[in-house]
Structure 1
């Protein structure tokens, strides 16, 4: 009882803080609205990951790892949300207004009516984790290149500026995402802080334990288990809650109850939708790993003997034209998937979710398997004809 009273008082203080962070400025509101849309983890698969994959060479495992971490964080966030069952400011204020009549009224924008639990913030959690790994990878790559090429080693002052510039940029981005979520009354401040800490911690653990070297050593049947387990756990978690009379769609009901306009509630913010997208992406990443092994066996006439990752052994020693064509192919694939997303029928809930599962499965399949492997096959045929 004491703990419950303490948490309620904390939410009262945070509600007042949220109201202070909601100035009625057209330019600020539009900017923070854009930040919330761009930082949506479900949209990252159409522009963040393909852009990174296009900028990196196919032999780099970084884009694959970032998509893996982002999908696992998105998948984990929904299970943590179900465990904590955290309220969102816009409906919590309406629920407790009788007990706290002096609470300030919170503004509702087009991004306010999110239909999943509030703790932790998925936007902050996913971006904190993915950007942390990206910044660490950039700094590690720069250190390695400086060590190999002593003539390009920078002065310690520039080295310090580069390091803290990257971390400053990272911190600024996370704070802007947090501010956008608080401004739109979708999260309390502690939910954003918890999301940033938890996302960074999980991403570090995944990066350390599930890196490319670890994935290389796993047998094919273990990869298949890894591919299927997120789907099985997600379905099991949903129905276990139903069996114990816990409503997994409680947040959807509260969103429809307290949102001013039901048209602002999108199915893309429901827990089931998040799980469908993340499970589809994880399933696709598992299939990519299996396809890469088969591709190595095909191109090298047997299992590879080198200790290089599959990405590196498959796509090493290619021309700049190959890498450029691969980047264009990845970006065109992302545009195609984005176009197909708007064509998904909404008449049937089952068909709707199956289409989104397939779409998120197709993304890693196209980015990391179909486009680069088909290009590799085409270049091999061209070389055979030239010989």
Structure 2
């Protein structure tokens, strides 16, 4: 399970960076000032250290990586529970805790004005889908060479995408 968590987290982090480049999601703390709303009426905003994130916000990386990386743990716990009980409710407890953690993470990101609600939802759903999808190909039987080549491939593809987008006139470092 631990290898699966690392594998899924690696792919989730790469996908999150690529999605942020092309979705260009604004962040609430900065948007509220740029929208002009703060000039018309005084809005009491508190800035937190996490509010100072300057990159795009869609999808939420915290929610996406948490949703993806916890998926194999949750399914392993649910499988282990099924050995000890026939109760569907007890086997669902790991999934209920999983959803509760995702909701807590999402609410905290919204609270510190790091994300809009739709960014948290898209990150959570993408993470769930990625965790579910990648779990079908467990990396347990793969050799270290595969992981090194995959990591290199992800790095080079990210650099290539960044270069192509920059050449096309997109400012990914806004």
* TM-score (structure 2 length as normaliser): 0.87
8 Å contact from structure 2 (residues 3, 139) kept in 1:
no
Q: Tell me how far apart the structure 1 counterparts of residues 156 and 168 of structure 2 sit (CA, whole Å).
A: 18
Relative contact order higher in (CA < 8 Å, ≥ 6 apart): 2
2:102 equivalent in structure 1: 174
8 Å contact from structure 2 (residues 16, 64) kept in 1:
yes
2:151 equivalent in structure 1: 227
TM-aligned CA deviation for residue 132 of structure 1: 2.1
Residue deviations 1:313-336 (CA, integer Å, cap 9, x gap): xxxxxxxxxxxxxxxxxxxxxxxx
Q: Tell me how far apart the structure 1 counterparts of residues 126 and 153 of structure 2 sit (CA, whole Å).
A: 22
2:55 equivalent in structure 1: 116
8 Å contact from structure 1 (residues 97, 103) kept in 2:
no
Say what the alpha-carbon RMSD is for the aligned residues. 2.5
5+ long unaligned stretches in structure 2: none
| Between 173-182 and 127-136, the greater mean CA deviation after superposition | 127-136
Q: Which has the larger radius of gyration?
A: 1
Residue deviations 1:76-112 (CA, integer Å, cap 9, x gap): 1010011100100011111111698358453211221
1:319 equivalent in structure 2: none
8 Å contact from structure 2 (residues 78, 92) kept in 1:
no
Corresponding position: 1:212 with 2:139: yes
5+ long unaligned stretches in structure 1: 1-61, 147-152, 251-387
8 Å contact from structure 1 (residues 93, 103) kept in 2:
no
Corresponding position: 1:127 with 2:72: no
8 Å contact from structure 2 (residues 7, 139) kept in 1:
no
Instruction: Report the count of equivalent residues.
Output: 174
TM-aligned CA deviation for residue 238 of structure 1: 2.0
Q: Tell me how far apart the structure 1 counterparts of residues 53 and 92 of structure 2 sit (CA, whole Å).
A: 35
Q: State how 1:132-147 maps to structure 2 within 5 Å.
A: 132-143=71-82, 146=83
